[in-house]
Amino acid sequence: MRWEELDQQPCSLSRTLAVVGDRWTLLVLRDCFLGVRRFDQFEKRLGVTRHLLADRLKKLVEHGVLVKVPYQQRPLREEYRLTERGLDLHPAIMALVSWGDRHMADERGAPIRHIHKGCGKVMRPVMVCSECAEPVGARDVRVEVGEGWQDAAGVLFTPAAR
Protein backbone atom coordinates (compact mmCIF):
# COMPACT_ATOMS: atom_id res chain seq x y z
CA MET A 1 0.00 0.00 0.00
CA ARG A 2 1.39 3.40 -0.99
CA TRP A 3 1.05 6.46 1.24
CA GLU A 4 -0.75 8.36 -1.56
CA GLU A 5 -3.39 5.61 -1.76
CA LEU A 6 -4.39 5.50 1.92
CA ASP A 7 -7.59 7.45 1.32
CA GLN A 8 -8.76 4.76 -1.12
CA GLN A 9 -8.41 1.86 1.31
CA PRO A 10 -11.51 0.15 2.72
CA CYS A 11 -10.33 1.02 6.22
CA SER A 12 -11.39 3.94 8.42
CA LEU A 13 -7.95 4.17 10.01
CA SER A 14 -6.22 4.35 6.61
CA ARG A 15 -8.62 7.04 5.43
CA THR A 16 -8.09 9.01 8.63
CA LEU A 17 -4.31 8.73 8.37
CA ALA A 18 -4.52 10.11 4.84
CA VAL A 19 -5.78 13.35 6.41
CA VAL A 20 -4.08 13.58 9.82
CA GLY A 21 -1.37 10.93 9.73
CA ASP A 22 1.87 12.88 9.69
CA ARG A 23 3.70 14.43 12.62
CA TRP A 24 3.31 18.06 11.54
CA THR A 25 -0.44 17.69 11.07
CA LEU A 26 -0.80 16.12 14.51
CA LEU A 27 1.22 18.95 16.04
CA VAL A 28 -0.94 21.52 14.23
CA LEU A 29 -4.00 19.80 15.69
CA ARG A 30 -2.42 19.74 19.15
CA ASP A 31 -1.88 23.48 18.92
CA CYS A 32 -5.44 24.02 17.67
CA PHE A 33 -6.73 22.30 20.81
CA LEU A 34 -4.41 24.53 22.85
CA GLY A 35 -6.04 27.62 21.33
CA VAL A 36 -3.63 28.52 18.52
CA ARG A 37 -5.46 29.94 15.51
CA ARG A 38 -3.18 32.13 13.43
CA PHE A 39 -0.61 31.11 10.84
CA ASP A 40 2.24 33.07 12.42
CA GLN A 41 1.49 31.53 15.82
CA PHE A 42 1.65 28.01 14.37
CA GLU A 43 4.86 28.88 12.52
CA LYS A 44 6.53 30.30 15.62
CA ARG A 45 5.45 27.47 17.95
CA LEU A 46 6.25 24.62 15.57
CA GLY A 47 9.38 25.97 13.90
CA VAL A 48 8.20 24.50 10.61
CA THR A 49 8.74 26.04 7.16
CA ARG A 50 5.97 28.29 5.86
CA HIS A 51 5.48 26.04 2.83
CA LEU A 52 5.04 22.87 4.92
CA LEU A 53 2.73 24.60 7.37
CA ALA A 54 0.62 26.10 4.58
CA ASP A 55 0.35 22.66 2.99
CA ARG A 56 -0.82 21.00 6.23
CA LEU A 57 -3.34 23.75 7.02
CA LYS A 58 -4.69 23.66 3.46
CA LYS A 59 -5.22 19.90 3.70
CA LEU A 60 -7.05 20.22 7.03
CA VAL A 61 -9.30 22.92 5.54
CA GLU A 62 -9.96 20.85 2.40
CA HIS A 63 -11.06 17.91 4.56
CA GLY A 64 -13.31 20.03 6.76
CA VAL A 65 -11.21 19.65 9.91
CA LEU A 66 -10.45 23.37 10.07
CA VAL A 67 -12.21 26.39 8.65
CA LYS A 68 -10.64 29.74 7.80
CA VAL A 69 -12.42 32.65 9.51
CA PRO A 70 -11.59 36.32 8.82
CA TYR A 71 -10.48 38.30 11.86
CA GLN A 72 -9.44 41.42 9.92
CA GLN A 73 -10.77 42.88 6.66
CA ARG A 74 -8.09 45.33 5.45
CA PRO A 75 -5.86 43.65 4.72
CA LEU A 76 -7.79 40.40 4.87
CA ARG A 77 -6.39 38.16 7.57
CA GLU A 78 -7.82 34.78 8.51
CA GLU A 79 -7.42 32.39 11.39
CA TYR A 80 -7.98 28.65 11.55
CA ARG A 81 -10.69 27.21 13.75
CA LEU A 82 -11.66 23.63 14.45
CA THR A 83 -14.93 22.53 12.87
CA GLU A 84 -17.21 19.90 14.42
CA ARG A 85 -15.28 17.36 12.37
CA GLY A 86 -12.07 18.73 13.85
CA LEU A 87 -13.44 18.72 17.39
CA ASP A 88 -14.30 15.05 16.89
CA LEU A 89 -10.53 14.38 16.77
CA HIS A 90 -10.18 15.43 20.41
CA PRO A 91 -10.47 11.90 21.83
CA ALA A 92 -7.75 10.67 19.45
CA ILE A 93 -5.41 13.53 20.33
CA MET A 94 -6.08 13.02 24.04
CA ALA A 95 -5.39 9.28 23.72
CA LEU A 96 -2.00 10.02 22.12
CA VAL A 97 -1.20 12.62 24.78
CA SER A 98 -2.17 10.17 27.52
CA TRP A 99 0.07 7.49 26.01
CA GLY A 100 2.93 9.99 25.87
CA ASP A 101 2.33 11.05 29.48
CA ARG A 102 2.50 7.43 30.55
CA HIS A 103 5.34 6.13 28.39
CA MET A 104 7.39 9.12 27.20
CA ALA A 105 7.43 11.63 30.08
CA ASP A 106 10.65 12.13 32.01
CA GLU A 107 11.05 12.02 35.79
CA ARG A 108 9.24 15.37 36.13
CA GLY A 109 6.02 13.85 34.82
CA ALA A 110 3.47 15.05 32.28
CA PRO A 111 4.24 18.48 30.79
CA ILE A 112 0.57 19.55 30.69
CA ARG A 113 -2.28 18.77 33.06
CA HIS A 114 -5.78 18.43 31.63
CA ILE A 115 -8.44 19.70 34.02
CA HIS A 116 -12.07 18.63 33.64
CA LYS A 117 -14.10 21.86 33.79
CA GLY A 118 -17.08 20.03 35.29
CA CYS A 119 -15.37 18.80 38.47
CA GLY A 120 -12.11 20.73 38.50
CA LYS A 121 -9.98 17.58 38.76
CA VAL A 122 -6.94 16.56 36.75
CA MET A 123 -8.20 13.96 34.32
CA ARG A 124 -6.98 11.35 31.89
CA PRO A 125 -9.01 10.08 28.96
CA VAL A 126 -10.82 6.78 29.40
CA MET A 127 -12.54 4.95 26.56
CA VAL A 128 -15.96 3.62 27.49
CA CYS A 129 -18.55 1.57 25.65
CA SER A 130 -21.18 3.78 24.02
CA GLU A 131 -23.89 1.32 25.06
CA CYS A 132 -23.15 0.43 28.69
CA ALA A 133 -20.55 3.07 29.71
CA GLU A 134 -18.10 0.45 31.03
CA PRO A 135 -14.39 1.19 30.45
CA VAL A 136 -13.06 -0.55 27.32
CA GLY A 137 -9.52 -1.75 26.64
CA ALA A 138 -8.00 -3.60 23.70
CA ARG A 139 -8.82 -7.01 25.21
CA ASP A 140 -12.47 -6.04 25.70
CA VAL A 141 -13.33 -5.68 22.00
CA ARG A 142 -14.19 -8.31 19.39
CA VAL A 143 -13.84 -7.28 15.75
CA GLU A 144 -16.28 -8.29 13.02
CA VAL A 145 -16.20 -7.41 9.35
CA GLY A 146 -18.60 -4.67 8.28
CA GLU A 147 -20.23 -4.12 4.91
CA GLY A 148 -17.73 -1.37 4.03
CA TRP A 149 -14.65 -3.61 4.28
CA GLN A 150 -14.02 -4.83 0.72
CA ASP A 151 -11.01 -4.60 -1.55
CA ALA A 152 -11.13 -3.19 -5.08
CA ALA A 153 -12.24 -6.56 -6.49
CA GLY A 154 -15.14 -6.72 -4.05
CA VAL A 155 -13.54 -9.40 -1.89
CA LEU A 156 -14.45 -9.09 1.77
CA PHE A 157 -11.40 -8.96 4.03
CA THR A 158 -11.27 -10.92 7.25
CA PRO A 159 -9.59 -9.41 10.30
CA ALA A 160 -6.75 -11.45 11.79
CA ALA A 161 -7.86 -13.67 14.65
CA ARG A 162 -6.57 -12.82 18.10
The DSSP result for 16-77, as a single string, is: HHHHH-SHHHHHHHHHHHTT--SHHHHHHHH---HHHHHHHHHHHHHTTSEEEEEEETTTTE
Residue-wise pLDDT for 31-54, tens only, equals 999 999 999 999 999 999 999 999
Give the per-residue pLDDT at 81. Answer: 98
Q: What gap in Å lies between CA 81 and CA 74, rounded to an integer?
A: 20
CB-hemisphere CA count at 13 Å for 111? 7
Give the per-residue pLDDT at 14. Answer: 82
Give the per-residue pLDDT at 70. Answer: 96
CA distances from 83 to 14, 80, 95, 117, 157 (A): 21, 9, 20, 21, 33
In b/e form, how buried is each residue of 136-155, taking b as 16+ CB within 10 angstroms? eeeeeeeeeeeeebeeeeee
The model's confidence at residue 4, banded by pLDDT at 50, 70 and 90, is: low
Which long-range contacts does 151-155 make (Cβ < 8 Å, 24+ apart)? 151/10
For the chain, domain boundaries? 1-86
Q: What gap in Å lies between CA 162 and CA 147, rounded to an integer?
A: 21
CB-hemisphere CA count at 13 Å for 9? 17
Pick the CATH number of 1-86 from 1.10.10.10, 3.30.230.10, 1.25.60.10, 3.40.50.800: 1.10.10.10
Nearest to 27 by CA among 47, 13, 12: 47
Give the per-residue pLDDT at 112. Answer: 93
Residue-wise pLDDT for 82-123, tens only, equals 999 999 999 999 999 999 999 999 999 999 999 999 999 999
Give the per-residue pLDDT at 147. Answer: 75
